[in-house]
Structure 1
Amino acid sequence: MSQNAKRILAIICLASWGIVLWAFSTFSIPSLDGYWFDIFGMLLLMVVVALFPIQIMGTNISFIQGISLAVFLHFGLLVELVLVQITIAISIMKLRYPLYRLGTSSIMFMVVSANAAIVYYLLGGEIGGLGMNEYPALIPVIGYSITAILTNHIILYFLRNEIYKEKSSLFAKDFLWELLMELIILPVGITFFILYSQLGTAAILFVGLPFVVISLILRLYHSSQKINHLLKFTSKIGQELTESLNVDEILDIYLARMTKMLKVDYAYILDINDGENLNVIRRYESKKVPTIQISGLVKGEGISGKVWESGNSLRFERRHQWRKFSRGFMPLSAQSVLSVPMYRNQEVVGVITFISTQKRAYEKSHEMILEIISNYLAVAIEKAKNYEATKHKSERCHLTNLYNYRYFEDVLSEMYVNHKQSRKPFSLILLDIDHFKKVNDTFGHQAGNVVLCQVADRLVQIIGDNGTVARYGGEEFVILLEDLAHSDTLELAEAIREDISLNTFTIKNDLGDYRNKAINITVSIGVATAPEQGEDPLTLIRNADRAMYTGAKQKGRNKVASYIG
């Protein structure tokens, strides 16, 4: 809510309070002589019940309506208004809501009470105590209750959609909850009114205790339902995380699910690097907030560093609670913060920090759930890293770090399968280092290995993401180029040949003086393009090999040759 809106709301609230107090002192109301103790008891009962609300869809719902109904039926609208307003003020302060929420709640309940009272009077309802064997008129009381519910929901709908800019429907789940509770409250409220008319002060105890017990039971039930929902959500996320074997995918799944479940404007997953620093490995920042930069944090530095140091979670409801820990890493708009450690094998391996621009965005149950899911995440990341490391070893040449022949065969076979759908050509470059045996014999096999690695690095630099470079075997390399015509492949092959022939390669002379030495090498290249020059993987490789030996090696080496069928 903007500052201007808050100021206008405060003015309206003060004016409304002034009108209520003026009306209370001006208009005729039932005599309160002898009832002040009872009124105070009813106020105390309303406050106790209001401090144990049930939160549904972000709205706190309590049972003060039942007590306020009895107050209205016996003492009239003005007394009921004053008691309800005092109850709201105490509840807002106890629950530590922003001050402007007092204004919106105060005005809302004034309008609700006034509308309900008007309908009650229009339906012939009267104010005052009952005599022996008398009962209140049910139609006006039912009209009062229905009007209060509808007015309350219309105002809430307006506030959410127009003031707080939260999209919601008029008759959502919280409406059904309040309707259900009204069916419970209405008979209890009527019973309270009847008993108070007959028994006086003792009725406050008889009815008040059940009210408090019912409020506590329903609050506990709703809290348990919420925790059960969070636990089911946790189990689902844990299953999703452990099913994936890709680290990036795991992090994306985690942030997508958690930012949907919790109120999150900033989210940071930090990994402990070599036991020295916390580094951000994934972040989430909503579009409505500016990006902040976080460099490596040491143990004990900032909120995340404190969590790493202590191994315990930290939860803050508003800015002043965490300001002394922030060390300048927190966004200016931040309010609520929830930071938990990631454990694996009883050791902290990372930290997850969620930040919201709203106050009191995170509850104790959220902290508990986040701690459970963070451990799921730590295990899932470790499993994915181990899988990726194993997969990398199985697909790579241990010397050059290029893809190995088995991986190359799989990619080539997949290209033929995809070609049936795309009908796009793809090409193969087969490259062999000229006179490589001479390098080994002159400078040693270790020098030959260095040359292989340097040639591999040059090929990766030239090809980049435009193709797949693999070690074919010995001193031979192969390059797969998807969606590249034969003529373009020949140009690329010529550029590779020229680059290698013009550059020097530095080795150590292991068979001589052990000094570094710059040498020049050349390569012979054969090119074949599918499907014209190879209808299957084996034929394409064979034809590229023929081109290299007959068209390049046998004609002087340091050449590029194309297969001619």
Structure 2
Amino acid sequence: MGKYREQVFNVTLITVGTVLFVGALYCCGVGIDWKIFLILFAFAIILDNLGIMYTDIKLSLSPTIGMATFLIFGTVAAAMLMVSSVMFDTIVIRKKIKNGLLNGAMFSIAYLIPGWFYEFIGGKTGVISFSQVKYILSYVIMSFLLNNFILYYALKAQGKILFKEYWNESVLLELGTYIVMFPAAILLAYIYFKHSLIFFVLSLTPLIFIAYVFRMVRDLIKANKRLNAIYEMVKVINSKLELNQILDAIIEVISQVVSISAAAIYLVDSNGIAILAKSVSSKESKEVFKENYFKDEGIVGKCISLNKTIAIRDLKQDKRFSSEKFLNDYGSVMVAPLRFSGSVIGCLMILHVETNVFDDDSVKIVETIVDQASVAITNAKRYYEVSKKSITDPLTKTYNRRYFNDALTESIMRSDETSEPVSLIMFDLDNFKLINDTSGHLIGDEVLKEVALRIKNNVRSDDIVARFGGEEFAVILPKLTAEQAYMIAERIRNEVSSKPIKTSKGDIYVTISGGVADYPEKADSAEKLISHADRALYAGGKSKGRNRIAIYEV
């Protein structure tokens, strides 16, 4: 749908622009001295190439030449000059034929319609006077609004990510350039009418200096944003955010310094496989990122094995990774390795729908940020591991008693807020002491680990399994009544007792008993919930022959 919408918009824009332009040339002619036209054309090209780039958006002072041409020679001459100069710059210099056609069509509309409106309301070309200023101002405002209106919907049709951010900045900067261009165009037209051609040409040269200053200011703004991005990354490093939050922050910081259409972060696991950890995209037609890469596989695998950044400015020309179908939706890609202490721990992939987006400057700043990001990711993983160790039973890898107490209290508080039940199952291995006495404690540990695994494999993802103590386990089941929890407990009991546990001393059959209670139906506090489930375990399960599940009865 997104691609179709873009194609419809492009065809419509090119058709309307071409019809208006050809019709204007046929009906009105150009009406300009070709020697002056070539001089103005050359200055427009120079100013275009001193413009500020926003991927496919270019801001320059070349419209000053267009406005001056309009005031001197009229609507069609100005449109002719600006359409030809922007198409020459885009197609010949920047090698973008489609964009050249689109820009030419946009300039055709943005110069012809305001020019005709100017003439309709009484404005005159070929003469400069104070009384004409209000008409000239209306022409400039209408041209600005029309140009930005077309550009807005052109970008929207392409589904650019972070569209608002760079759009707002470009509009503000363009308004700044128009404050310069409006009086400059009037002054140039006045000089043309009052002075010699040589003096007029010399009067055009200060525009080159002003354009250079604008470019320097833009570079300073970019440098400031990049310093801020690095500062933000340092703050992230010093934070105690979870890994997922760190990955979000990294992509957010990267988007502040380079324009992106999609991004993905891959982290290398203990087997050396790059696993997709985070991805974002605004392209409606994008294919899903590949979930994992083996060593040397694809662009991600190659980046990790080489331990160096891979930046491809034009994916249409560079076919090294053409087998990765999702890359066909994009024009530029950069993959930078995430390194810590010399080892690659993952990589960052950023893509853009346009070609020639990621230049050498972009590569350097991204590499600087990912170096900082690697520290943040490593810190987050270490913090997670330390936190997990503090709440996890080292033998069974279930939660420990301390975490269980906090989780049960929190579950009951949530139950009070939502009026939904919470159930508790207390499990105890039958005759576990006999296993330790006959087979030894190491075999007993193997049995505990396998039982814990079977319990975890038979509960829901948001249920909490904890080692309550010794051979006793507890399971917190939010949103379930005791009767519903009983069914799960039976499933676990059957899973434990029906299959032998393989140990280093042979197969061992074990059974398990359980007691179930729920809140608030059978208990009115966390303490009573534990007590009642435990009572059901021993009174209804153990005392009646073991390998049984019982529900606490009030």
Aligned-partner Cα distance in 2 for 1:530–1:107: 70
Aligned-partner Cα distance in 1 for 2:66–2:548: 97
Aligned-partner Cα distance in 2 for 1:319–1:271: 24
Does residue 468 in structure 1 map to residue 467 in structure 2?
no
Aligned-partner Cα distance in 1 for 2:72–2:500: 102
Map 1:427-446 to 2 at 5 A.
Answer: 427-446=423-442
Map 1:345-364 to 2 at 5 A.
Answer: 345-363=341-359
Instruction: Kindly provide the amino acid, as one letter, of the partner of residue 449 in structure 1.
Output: D
Query: Which of 435, 438, 450 does residue 446 from structure 2 map onto?
Result: 450
Relative distance call for 1:421 and 1:224 in structure 2 (3 A) is: same
Deviation, structure 1 residue 127: 3.0
Aligned-partner Cα distance in 2 for 1:309–1:490: 51
Aligned to 1:291: 288
Contact 1:116 1:145 (C-alpha < 8 Å) held by counterparts: no
Map 1:406-555 to 2 at 5 A.
Answer: 406-465=402-461, 467-490=463-486, 492-509=488-505, 516=506, 518-531=507-520, 533-555=522-544
Could you give the per-residue CA deviations for residues 171-220 of structure 1, whole angstroms, max 9, x where no partner exists?
A: 97766654543443344334434445555244246423311100110122
Contact 2:311 2:333 (C-alpha < 8 Å) held by counterparts: yes
Relative distance call for 1:103 and 1:144 in structure 2 (3 A) is: farther
Query: Which of 54, 59, 62 does residue 64 from structure 1 map onto?
Result: 62
Aligned-partner Cα distance in 2 for 1:351–1:426: 42
Query: Which of 255, 263, 274 does residue 267 from structure 1 map onto?
Result: 263
Q: Which gives a bigger RCO, structure 1 or 2 (Cα 8 Å, sep 6+)?
A: 2
Over the aligned positions, Cα root-mean-square deviation in angstroms equals 4.1
Aligned-partner Cα distance in 1 for 2:307–2:45: 39
Matched position secondary structure for 1:319: coil
Map 1:304-323 to 2 at 5 A.
Answer: 304-323=300-319
Does residue 203 in structure 1 map to residue 195 in structure 2?
no
Instruction: Kindly provide the amino acid, as one letter, of the partner of residue 474 in structure 2.
Output: V
Deviation, structure 1 residue 401: 1.6
Contact 1:238 1:373 (C-alpha < 8 Å) held by counterparts: no
Deviation, structure 1 residue 325: 4.4
Deviation, structure 1 residue 502: 3.8
Does residue 151 in structure 1 map to residue 143 in structure 2?
yes
Relative distance call for 1:16 and 1:189 in structure 2 (3 A) is: closer
Matched position secondary structure for 1:324: coil
Relative distance call for 1:508 and 1:289 in structure 2 (3 A) is: closer
Aligned to 1:54: 52
Relative distance call for 1:106 and 1:149 in structure 2 (3 A) is: farther
Aligned-partner Cα distance in 1 for 2:50–2:86: 12
Aligned-partner Cα distance in 2 for 1:467–1:126: 78
Contact 2:111 2:143 (C-alpha < 8 Å) held by counterparts: no
Could you give the per-residue CA deviations for residues 229-259 of structure 1, whole angstroms, max 9, x where no partner exists?
A: 4543564466457645322343345456756
Matched position secondary structure for 1:291: coil
Instruction: Kindly provide the amino acid, as one letter, of the partner of residue 333 in structure 1.
Output: D
Quote the sequence identity (%). 23
Does residue 332 in structure 1 map to residue 328 in structure 2?
yes
Deviation, structure 1 residue 344: 2.2
Aligned-partner Cα distance in 1 for 2:399–2:175: 66
Deviation, structure 1 residue 275: 7.7
Aligned to 1:133: none
Contact 1:292 1:331 (C-alpha < 8 Å) held by counterparts: no
Query: Which of 88, 96, 99 does residue 97 from structure 2 map onto?
Result: 99
Contact 2:339 2:346 (C-alpha < 8 Å) held by counterparts: yes
Aligned to 1:13: 18
Matched position secondary structure for 1:469: strand
How many residues matched?
542
Give unmatched runs, 5+ long, in structure 1. Answer: 129-135, 510-515
Instruction: Kindly provide the amino acid, as one letter, of the partner of residue 328 in structure 2.
Output: L
Contact 2:118 2:138 (C-alpha < 8 Å) held by counterparts: no
Could you give the per-residue CA deviations for residues 121-149 of structure 1, whole angstroms, max 9, x where no partner exists?
A: 97474638xxxxxxx42323552353144
Aligned to 1:2: 7
Map 1:157-236 to 2 at 5 A.
Answer: 157-158=149-150, 160-161=152-153, 165=157, 177-196=173-192, 200-204=196-200, 206-229=202-225, 231-232=227-228, 235-236=231-232
Could you give the per-residue CA deviations for residues 348-368 of structure 1, whole angstroms, max 9, x where no partner exists?
A: 322211223333344555444
- Between structure 1 and structure 2, the one with the greater Rg is 1
Aligned to 2:3: none
Instruction: Kindly provide the amino acid, as one letter, of the partner of residue 106 in structure 1.
Output: G
Aligned-partner Cα distance in 2 for 1:498–1:273: 35
Instruction: Kindly provide the amino acid, as one letter, of the partner of residue 135 in structure 2.
Output: G
Relative distance call for 1:204 and 1:342 in structure 2 (3 A) is: farther
Aligned-partner Cα distance in 2 for 1:441–1:550: 25
Deviation, structure 1 residue 400: 1.7
Task: Return the TM-score normalized by structure 2.
Answer: 0.81
Matched position secondary structure for 1:288: coil
Aligned to 1:131: none
Deviation, structure 1 residue 284: 3.5
Matched position secondary structure for 1:331: helix
Could you give the per-residue CA deviations for residues 410-432 of structure 1, whole angstroms, max 9, x where no partner exists?
A: 22222333343344443333333
Does residue 139 in structure 1 map to residue 126 in structure 2?
no
